[in-house]
Amino acid sequence: MTSVPMTSVRRVMLYVLLGLYGLTVLYPIGLMLISSFKDSREIFTAPFALPQSWNFDNYIEAWTEGNFSSYFLNSVWITGVSVVLVLVIGSLAAYPLGRYAFRGKRFLSLYFLAGLMLPIRLGILPLFFLMRTLGLLNTPFSLIAIYVASGLPFTIFVLSNFFETLPRELEDAARLDGASEFRIYAQVMLPLIRPALATVAIFNFIPWWNDFFFPLIFIRNEAYKTLPLGLFGFFGEHQNDWGLLFSGLTVTTLPLLLVYLFASKQIVKGLTAGALR
C-alpha cells in the first residue's frame, strides 16, 4: 500500500476525509474546553463561537463550591497508590514467571492470563458484600483493592515477558556475590525493566482515573468521591448550568489528555504489548 505514488487528487481527498474525521473527534472535546469559559447564556446564544472573554469563574466555582478540589486529590492519590502497588506486587509475581523454572509455572501463567478476559464487573455483588464484610465499603481502600487486583494480569503479563529477556549472567554474578534471591530481584533486575514499568504504570493509570463503575457502588461518602463520581453528582445538582458543568468536565478530562500528550508513545506501547502476542 505504501509504495504506490499517490496522485494529487487522491492526496487532497485523503486529507479532506482525515480532516473531517479529525473534526468529528476533536469537536466534542474542544467544545467542552471552549464552553467551560462561557456562562450559560453565551453557550446557548453562541454555541459555536469562541468565548467573549476567557474568564475562570466557572473553574473557581467548581473547584471550591463544587468540591472538585477534593475529587481531584482523591483521584490523584487513589490512582497513584494503586499504580505503585500494582507495580510492586505485579513485578513480584512476574519475576519468577519470567525467570525461574518450577513446577506449576505454566498453570500459574494461564491463571493470570485468564484474568485478562474475566469480566470482573460481573462479580460486583459478591465484591460489594466482601468489601462490606472487610469494612472497606465507603473507603478508598475498596477502590485500591479492586484496581490492583484487576490490573495484575496485564502487569504480570508484560513484566514477565520483559524479565525473560534479561541476560542470565547478571543474576549468576550476583548469586556468586552471595546476594539473596530477593535482593537480586529488587536491586539487579527491577532497575533493568524500568521502561516496562513506566509503560505498565501509565497504561493502568488511564482506566483507573476514568473509572466510574466501582466508585458508584463502593463510595457514598462525599469526602472520598473521585472525579468521575463527583462529576456525576455535580451534574445532578447543576443540570442547567452548562458553563459550570463544562468546567467540571474539563477538570476531569484534561489531566489525562495532558498525560496522554506527553506519554502517548508509552500508551501505544502498552496497548500493543497486550495485544500482539
Partner 1 sequence: MSSPTVPSPRSNRLRRKEVVSAYGFLLPNLIGFAIFTFFPVIAALLISMTDWDLLQAPTWVGLDNYRTLLNDPLFGQVLKNTALYVLGTVPLQMLLALLVALALNQRIPGQLFFRTAYFMPVVASTVAVALVWRWIFNYDFGLLNSFLYMIGIQDPPNWLGSTRWALPSIIIMSVWQQVGYSMVLFLAGLQGVPQQLYEAAEIDGAGSWGRFWYITLPMLSPTTFFILIIGMINSFQVFDQALIMTQGGPANATNTIVYHIYRNAFQFFKMGYASAMAWVLFAIIFVVTLLQFRLQRRWVNYD
Query: Which CB atom, from 4 or from 65, has the smaller least distance to partner 1?
Result: 4
In the complex, minimum distance from the CB of residue 47 to partner 1, in angstroms, rounded to a whole number: 6
Query: By the 8 A CB rule, do 109 and 97 touch?
Result: yes
In the complex, minimum distance from the CB of residue 171 to partner 1, in angstroms, rounded to a whole number: 10
Query: By the 8 A CB rule, do 227 and 251 touch?
Result: yes
How many residues lie near partner 1 (CB under 8 A)? 99
Binding partner 1 (rule: CB under 8 A), the pick from 148, 174, 190, 219 is 148
Is 182 near partner 1 (CB under 8 A)? yes
Is 90 near partner 1 (CB under 8 A)? yes
In the complex, minimum distance from the CB of residue 231 to partner 1, in angstroms, rounded to a whole number: 6
Q: Exposure of 43 by Cβ count < 10 A (0-12 exposed, 13-18 middle, 19+ buried)?
A: buried
Binding partner 1 (rule: CB under 8 A), the pick from 7, 107, 125, 169 is 125
Query: By the 8 A CB rule, do 143 and 214 touch?
Result: yes
How many angstroms separate the Cα of 24 from the Cα of each of 20, 28, 55, 259?
Answer: 6, 7, 26, 22
Give the number of residues written for the chain.
Answer: 277
Q: Helix, strand, or coil here: 166?
A: coil
Q: CA 84, 166, 188 angle in degrees (round to 5)?
A: 55
Q: Residues 103 to 122: which contact partner 1 by CB under 8 A?
A: 103, 105, 108-109, 112, 115, 117-122
Q: What is the DSSP letter of 101?
A: -
Which of these ranges, 50-58, 62-70, 189-197, 267-275, lies near partner 1 under the rule CB under 8 A? Answer: 267-275
Binding partner 1 (rule: CB under 8 A), the pick from 138, 179, 181, 238 is 181
Query: Which CB atom, from 77 or from 213, has the smaller least distance to partner 1?
Result: 213
Q: Grid cell 466508585 — which residue?
A: 215
Binding partner 1 (rule: CB under 8 A), the pick from 7, 53, 65, 126 is 126
Binding mask 24-63 for partner 1 (x = CB under 8 A): xxx-xx-xx-----------x--xx---------------
Binding partner 1 (rule: CB under 8 A), the pick from 12, 16, 20, 21 is 21
Is 95 near partner 1 (CB under 8 A)? yes
Gap between the Cα atoms of 138 and 131, Å rounded: 9
Q: Residues 214 to 253: which contact partner 1 by CB under 8 A?
A: 216-217, 227-228, 231-232, 235, 242, 245-246, 249, 252-253
Is 72 near partner 1 (CB under 8 A)? no
Query: By the 8 A CB rule, do 152 and 86 touch?
Result: yes
Binding partner 1 (rule: CB under 8 A), the pick from 51, 72, 81, 124 is 124
Is 3 near partner 1 (CB under 8 A)? yes
Query: By the 8 A CB rule, do 37 and 51 touch?
Result: yes
Q: Grid cell 504489548 — which residue?
A: 273
Is 186 near partner 1 (CB under 8 A)? no
Is 209 near partner 1 (CB under 8 A)? yes
Gap between the Cα atoms of 261 and 7, Å rounded: 33
Gap between the Cα atoms of 234 and 230, Å rounded: 6
